[in-house]
Amino acid sequence: EVQMLESGGGLVQPGGSLRLSCEASGFTFSNYAVTWVRQAPGKGLDWVSTISGSGENTYYADSVKGRFTISRDNSKNTLYLQMTNLGAEDTARYFCAKLSNSWVVHDAFDLWGQGTTVTVSS
């Protein structure tokens, strides 16, 4: 089955760190760029970061640049998001998604996980 499955969310104190994971299955993971998108409670979608299939190229929203690091392990079909210096504004459901076509980094997101929730609070 083609799917993306996030994990690693939870409650973290302001200034803390957390690492999210996203395990992919059912397609050749290394051929596709993948991305993180978040959604604060009751709000819209907010793109966070994208990484190319090889992992060589990464892209970040200004709001997370310098605090979040995207990476991937193609041998484990897994995408990661290391989040540091978290603030209340980072509280959201975090979705991973796959780009539609192989070998590109600008494309629509055609396969989404169900998300994992991050809550930043003391």
Partner 1 sequence: EVVLTQSPGTLSLSPGERATLSCRASHNFGSSYLAWYQQKPGQAPRLLIYDASSRATGIPDRFSGTGSGTDFTLSISRLEPEDFAVYYCQHYGSSRTFGQGTRVEIK
| Residue ranges that bind partner 1, judged by CB under 8 A | 35, 37, 44-47, 50, 59, 61, 95, 100, 106-110, 112-115
* Residue closer to partner 1, measured from CB, 17 or 101: 101
Query: CA triplet 45, 65, 20: central angle to 5 degrees?
Result: 65
Nearer residue to partner 1 within complex by CB, 18 or 48: 48
Query: Whose CA is closest to 89, among 54, 53, 63, 55?
Result: 63
State the nearest-atom distance from the C-beta of 112 to partner 1, in Å. Answer: 4
Q: At its nearest, how many Å lie between partner 1 and the CB of residue 27?
A: 13
| Shortest distance in whole angstroms from residue 83 CB to partner 1 | 18
Q: CB neighbours of 106 closer than 8 A, spacing ≥ 6?
A: none
How far is 108 from 44, CA to CA, in rounded Å?
17
Q: Based on CB atoms, which residue is closest to partner 1, 18 or 113?
A: 113
76: CB partners within 8 A, 6+ apart: 23
